[in-house]
Chain A
């Protein structure tokens, strides 16, 4: 079982992640709060997510496969346990809320589709993504 990501780890990568996000979205750095919704608050579109991941891969020298956030969010649940016909299960929702702990509860819809998960993403989500990738890179030696 992977060790939980700590606030210290998040704080360590946040400045670089925030810079990348501000650059990719063309917004002020001050707007990039850890819990801001990238889509709702900062106007990110799908191409921006690709841009951010591409920039983070280069900045942190890690590989972040597409769809990695959802995979990380799923944790130990199998795909079938996490979602049924594209809708997140109750167990999946509990897991998702635990992974995206920075996201206010009110932003989670019930029921919620897997394809709606990106609407929840925040700068902190991307910090966690980077930290997971760093850990995997380190583990791979």
Chain B
């Protein structure tokens, strides 16, 4: 049974909705707790996706909730640090009982930190994941006084084992924990390893591969600037073992493109994506 203390806390990244146009768009804010170690860019994308999810769930009267499936392009424009406050935007392109498509962005102090384009998620029966009435009440609170900030406690590192590596590829395996606070929030009735955490782990492999490539300017580390063609094929349950493969696709004078793939123990592909990396400041 999910621990209710973590519901709407351990993996919820919208504190307040400041503008809400039903079925069309929302704007909101999220204060990244100052006392956590880091807030990876994938969680910024998660925050934008969650804002879009609120609009889409309300649009279908909480019959369905979107799940991560496709993200055409995510641009990582600047890092987000603990203590920052995100201004979030989600613009719904289409939403019905079957699927939602949307774009969105996040800003910190007026500067764009992430942009999401061509995102698409099928809507699944909401009652499989959470209590519809609890979600409706939560949305009312977010649209009203807002939630108490600072309830996110960070994400503990996952057990990771490095696999084969050569000049153009590398692999690693992560053990998804059987239990973690975020499972109580994602989702109370059906724990699922968040796709954004899966992608964050995959990005870690891409960065490790990129860092081993020769030719970066002295003192500059490769950073992810863009993630494209994200396709999440299936849910990852608690306790799963996921093998990641990162493969160099293209290398230019100032960057590289790396294909990412995550497979479950049955060797079925769970998720795929591509990332562009370039020398620069810490954008991940």
A residues lining the B interface (CB < 8 Å): 23, 26, 45, 47-48, 50-51, 54, 58, 63, 66
Contacts and interface: CB of A to CB of B under 8 A. Distances in A.
Interface in B46-98: 69-70, 94, 98
Contacts of A54: 70, 101, 118, 120
B118 A47 contact: no
B143 interface: no
A46 to B, nearest CB: 9
Contact of A26 (B70, B122, B272): B272
B25 interface: no
A58 B99 CA distance: 15
Main secondary structure of the interface of A (DSSP, over half): helix
Contact of A50 (B94, B118, B122, B272): B122
A45 to B, nearest CB: 6
Nearest to B121: A50
Nearest to A23: B229
B231 A47 contact: yes
**In this complex, which of A23, A51, A63 has the most chain B Cβ atoms within 10 angstroms of its Cβ?**
A51
Contacts of A58: 118
A114 B252 CA distance: 49
Nearest to B261: A26
Contacts of B241: none
Interface in B92-112: 94, 98-99, 101
B99 A50 contact: yes
B263 interface: no
A129 to B, nearest CB: 16
A23 B69 CA distance: 16
B177 to A, nearest CB: 25
Residue of A23, A45, A47, A66 most packed against chain B (CB within 10 A): A47
Contacts of B151: none
B98 A51 contact: no
B138 interface: no
A26 B247 CA distance: 14
B233 interface: yes
12 contacts: A26-B272, A47-B69, A47-B232, A50-B69, A50-B70, A50-B99, A50-B120, A50-B122, A51-B120, A51-B231, A58-B118, A63-B94
A51 B70 contact: yes
A44 B70 CA distance: 15
A7 to B, nearest CB: 31
B135 to A, nearest CB: 23
A47 B233 contact: yes
A66 B98 contact: yes
Nearest to B119: A54
A66 B99 contact: yes
A51 to B, nearest CB: 6
Pairs of residues from A and B, 4 with the lowest C-beta to C-beta distance, nearest first = A66-B98, A54-B120, A47-B233, A51-B70
Contacts of B101: 54
Interface in B119-172: 120, 122
A108 B255 CA distance: 49
B250 to A, nearest CB: 15
Given A26-B272, A54-B101, A45 B118 contact: no
Given A26-B272, A50-B120, A54-B101, 5 more contacts: A47-B69, A47-B70, A47-B232, A50-B99, A58-B118
Interface string B201-238: 00000000000000000000000000001011100000
Contacts of A47: 69-70, 231-233
A60 B272 CA distance: 25
A136 B45 CA distance: 35
Contacts of B231: 47-48, 51
A127 B229 CA distance: 22
A66 B109 CA distance: 40
A5 to B, nearest CB: 25
